[in-house]
Chain A
Amino acid sequence: MTSEIPETVPVETGNLIGKVEEFRDGGYRLVQINCSKIGDVYEINYSFDKDYRFRNLRITVTADTEIPSISGMYWGAFIYENEMHDLFGIRVRGMNIDFKGHLFTTAVKFPFSIAPSTLTKDEKP
């Protein structure tokens, strides 16, 4: 079994950037961003690591929430943010590289999304 116990801290979407800045300034690296559909909301986990200490920030958002990109602080975050958009239909504001829905081309558009009707006209499956 893993010997580490991951820590997860819930944060408000509006406070996300500030919290991520704290991690960046503290020397943490971005491990991953992942999204889960829980009922009619999405849970998004931002995972960081420093010296094998694994910590997560969690925001919970509805389908029509636009979330801020953290690619300004972690350049490589664009890959996870585009993935979130393409698989879940979550809109991310201010990505440094925006594939506009063409990173993952799936047979069913936004296969993990919960409310396609809340997406913009261009994004609807």
Chain B
Amino acid sequence: MTKQIIVPFGPQHPVLPEPIHLDLVLEDERVVDVIPSIGYIHRGFEKLVEKREYTEYVYIAERTCGICSFIHGATYCQGIEQIMNIDVPERAQYLRVIWSEYSRLHSHLLWLGLFADSFGFENLFMNAWRIRERILDVMEQTTGGRVIQGSCKIGGVRRDIANEKLDEMRRDLDTTEREIRDLTTVFLQDNSIKHRLRNVGRLSKEDAYHLGASGPTARGSGVAIDLRKTGYGAYGKLNFQLVTDSCGDCYGRCAVRAQELFTSIDLIRQAIQKIPDGPIDIKVSGAPNGEFFTRAEQPRGELVHYLKGNGTKFLVRSRIRTPTLTNIPPLVRMLQGCELADVPVIVLSIDPCISCTER
């Protein structure tokens, strides 16, 4: 019997922007089992709900993540609005979709850059992040913040985007789309990248479904789940095709994210075309009394906010289930049987956001 050794991977590692620890059980160079550990940066955000009024907690919810912060804020607001039976003005719903899709563009481009860096393609990394800057510029111009937008509130949004600016954004998307097409062509067609990613970190469709995989991790294994299809916000009025890939390997997950960039661009164009004039918020009074599970599609997958109020200004419970938390069990399955040298690429292929996960 081959001798087994345990190699610790993380919490500090060159490919990890945030801390996760894996105990890799090896036989020679092959990983036979994995024990994951998190908990290095648990921040206790959920506890803060007991000390912040429900209207203020939007800011806390947004700070759950530094990448998809807007979607956290919007999802939290959505849950409170559902409990309080608040009808959000249509224009605000479209604005939420526009900012959510810009967040997705920003997140996927960030990930493509980090992924390129993980397999040593520095130039591709720089190109992905150069395009990402264009997205962040638009976020800053329209909300005032590059990373934390602070533009969502219970009952609508805090800022409007002038119709002239929306036209300008639509024109800019043509340039952005052209640049993204050049970038993704390299990711999807380059032989050295294919060679590095094909058949690495395989996750079958059945495993992806039963282990709770979410977002591009699930869709990269052929599981067609995307919460935007439930039609929350203004998504129900927009058309888009679900992107899936049946490979189930690192290449499949990369291909899904690359193609989803174009879906997001298309959704933004549709939203700009259809957005009606009108108010962007309504006055909210009272306090939430009841509970609701609200779900949304983040760049990394399905986000669940559970909110429970008792009629006071302080919620009884806010529970945030982030996509990375549910993608950890599938990650363990992907790593079983892989080569030690492939571990960094496989870990990055789920786009782990540990700060999100730790809340």
Q: Which residues of A line the B interface, CB within 8 A?
A: 1-4, 6, 29-32, 34-38, 45, 47, 52, 54, 56, 74-76, 78-80, 86, 97, 99, 102-106, 111-112
Q: Which of A74, A102, A103 contacts B212 (CB 8 A)?
A: A74
> Closest Cβ of chain A: how far from B318's Cβ, in Å?
10
CB <8 Å contact, B317 and A4: no
The interface of chain B, by Cβ under 8 A from chain A, is 35, 37-40, 42, 44, 46-47, 78, 81-82, 87-88, 209-212, 227, 229-233, 236, 292-296, 302, 304, 306, 308, 316-317, 319, 321, 325-326, 328-330, 358
Question: Is A2 within 8 A of B230, CB to CB?
Answer: yes
**Do A32 and B232 touch (CB < 8 A)?**
no
**6 nearest CB pairs, A to B:** A76-B329, A104-B39, A32-B321, A36-B317, A2-B232, A34-B319
Report the nearest B residue to A36, measured CB to CB.
B317
Given contacts A76-B211, A78-B329, A111-B47, contact A2 B38 (CB under 8 A): no
| A38 touching B321, Cβ below 8 Å | no
The smallest C-beta distance from B98 to any residue of chain A, in angstroms, reads: 17
Alpha-carbon distance A103/B325, docked complex (angstroms) = 12
Identify 13 new A-B residue pairs, CB closer than 8 A, beyond the known A29-B212, A35-B319, A79-B326.
A1-B233, A2-B230, A2-B294, A2-B295, A2-B296, A3-B230, A32-B321, A36-B319, A75-B211, A75-B329, A79-B329, A99-B37, A112-B46
Q: How far is the CA of A49 from the CA of B275 in the complex (A)?
A: 31
> Is there an interface contact between B325 and A105, defined as CB atoms closer than 8 Å?
no
Assembled-state Cα–Cα distance A111/B47 (Å): 8
Beta-carbon contact of A52 and B39 below 8 Å: no
User: Among A37, A56, A76, A102, which residue has its beta carbon within 8 angstroms of that of B37?
Assistant: A102
Instruction: List the B side residues contacting A37 at CB < 8 Å.
Output: 317
Contact between chains at B209 and A3 (CB < 8 Å)? no
Q: Is the CB of A36 within 8 A of B293?
A: no
- Given A34-B321, A36-B316, A47-B304, answer yes or no on A3-B232 (Cβ-Cβ < 8 Å): yes
Could you write out 9 A-B pairs with CB less than 8 Å apart?
A: A1-B82, A2-B296, A4-B295, A30-B212, A32-B326, A36-B319, A76-B330, A86-B39, A104-B39
C-alpha gap A75/B40 in the complex (Å) = 24
Is B329 in contact with A6, judged by CB distance below 8 angstroms?
Answer: no
B82 to chain A, nearest CB (A): 6
Give CA–CA (A74, B308) in the complex, Å. 26
Chain B hits for A34, CB < 8 A: 306, 319, 321
B231, B316, B326, B358: the one contacting A104 at CB < 8 Å is B358
Instruction: Provide the bound-state CA to CA distance between A35 and B209, in Å.
Output: 23
Given contacts A1-B81, A76-B329, contact A31 B212 (CB under 8 A): yes
Q: Are A1 and B88 in contact (CB under 8 A)?
A: yes
CB <8 Å contact, B295 and A54: yes
Q: Within 8 Å CB of B294, what residues of A?
A: 2
Which residues from chain A contact B229 at a C-beta distance below 8 Å? 52
A32 cross-chain contacts in B, Cβ below 8 A: 304, 321, 326
User: CB within 8 A of B210: which of A35, A38, A75?
Assistant: A75
State the CA gap A78–B332 with chains docked (Å): 12
- A106–B236 Cα distance when bound, in Å, is 41
**A33 closest partner in B (C-beta):** B321
The distance from the CB of B116 to the nearest CB of chain A, in whole angstroms, is 29
